[in-house]
Amino acid sequence: MTTEETVRADLKERVDALLTTHDPATTDQLVFLRAQFDAGLAWVHFPEGLGGLGLPRAHQTYVNELLAAAGAPDNDPRRIGIGLGMAAPTILAFGTDEQKRRFLRPLWTGEEVWCQLFSEPGAGSDLAAVGTRAVRDGDTWVVNGQKVWTSSAHKARWAILLARTDPDVPKHAGMSYFICDMTDPGVEVRPLRQITGEAEFNEVFLSDARIPDAHRLGEEGEGWKVANATLMNERVAIGGNAAQREVSMIGFVANAWRTRPELRRPEAHDQLTSLWVEAEVARLSGKRLRQKLAAGEPGPEGSGMKLTFARLTQQITGFELQLLGEEGLRYADWTMTRPDIVDFTGRDAGYRYLRAKGNSIEGGTSEILRNIIAERVLKLPAEPRADKDIAWKDIPR
């Protein structure tokens, strides 16, 4: 057999063994997921002992297909997307062995939900301007500040936190990266109601919140380096999803066109065709990006995919409203809720249109992503930065 065939045969044996000892029909979901992790079948590209087998990432698709065919439960990845797409790869890259053992298993099984404490009222697109302060007190850090636009903070057990530990050096050099306990008495979460009527996001106030130094990721002062790794993974997670054809926003519009001939107009047909082709190009590009990830770490290419995702989603949802006419203006429910996940599929066109407005802001604004592409991909000259070499405390605010 070829090497590929040998690997797949071994994976099938491991899956069969898991299914034999943990029948999905009779095994509790959490018990099954823990066993899957311990068998190295959670994310096969992770190291052995941490839910993986040290194999290329691409083999996970085969494992997932075998488990799905057997009726095995999944870990509800949309509910724990921040943990899976941002916290986990960061912990793997920068965490200590103890941190990896403590956090990765309950993160993957969904026992512990994660959120991201990066953006602040005065530090969004310019993330390096964060003003949340972490002051060392023995083996503990005392944290004070405010974070904003925090998805899932109301559900989270843990957060990845970027805070300023040294205000006397330039802004990029004075930050450190922590794992914050969201149940600490110094952490307060308040809902932020959006244009959709929901409070999917939150603002988080940190008042003398205490974080043990053992929960610092990376070296002190290397927060910017660690945060960049997180952001690259975030943008791939948002923009690089290689879904099946039409399993995206374009699917709603294409289905309406096929099933409702009364909506068809010649000019709309031209628009739909153009959007469909762009969506398919984006889907295939996302698939290629995933293949590149199987061989290495995410780079600035993920920024390009996220930029494309935001633009296309907004264009497609806008077109859907035009296609539906008055029907598209209906809005089913404006009740204030705090959802566990962002669900475009189970909602109406009005919700999709309004929620898509956030796609060009969250996960890096489109303006910042264009700068990243220009400087890191196209190698164009960087924008002048007058505050680059000034101590953070001396920057006018």
301 neighbors 377 (Cβ within 8 angstroms): yes
CB-based burial label for 173 (10 Å; 0-12, 13-18, 19+): middle
Half-sphere exposure of 368 (CA within 13 A, CB side): 17
* Angle formed by the axes of helices 3-21 and 59-69, nearest 10°: 40
* Torsional class of 113: left (φ above 0), alpha (ψ -120 to 50), beta (otherwise): beta
Clarify whether 98 is annotated catalytic. no
Sign, CA dihedral 90-229-354-194, equals positive
Angle at 154 between CA 369 and CA 355, to 5 degrees: 45
Separation of first and last alpha carbons in the chain: 65
Angle at 246 between CA 244 and CA 247, to 5 degrees: 60
47 neighbors 118 (Cβ within 8 angstroms): no
Token pair of 256 as six digits: 């309406």
Dihedral of the alpha carbons of 120, 121, 125, 130, in degrees to the nearest 10: -40
The helix (H) or strand (E) run that includes residue 82 is helix 81-82
CB atoms inside a 10 Å sphere around CB 95: 23
Catalytic-labelled residue, pool 120, 200, 203, 234: 234
Q: How far is it, in rounded angstroms, from Cα 264 to Cα 221?
A: 58
Token pair of 139 as six digits: 């083996």
Name 212's bridge partners: 140
Q: How far is it, in rounded angstroms, from Cα 49 to Cα 43?
A: 11
Query: Rg of the Cα trace of the chain?
Result: 22
18 neighbors 1 (Cβ within 8 angstroms): no
346 neighbors 355 (Cβ within 8 angstroms): no
Dihedral of the alpha carbons of 122, 128, 130, 135, in degrees to the nearest 10: -160
Q: Which residues are catalytic?
A: 234
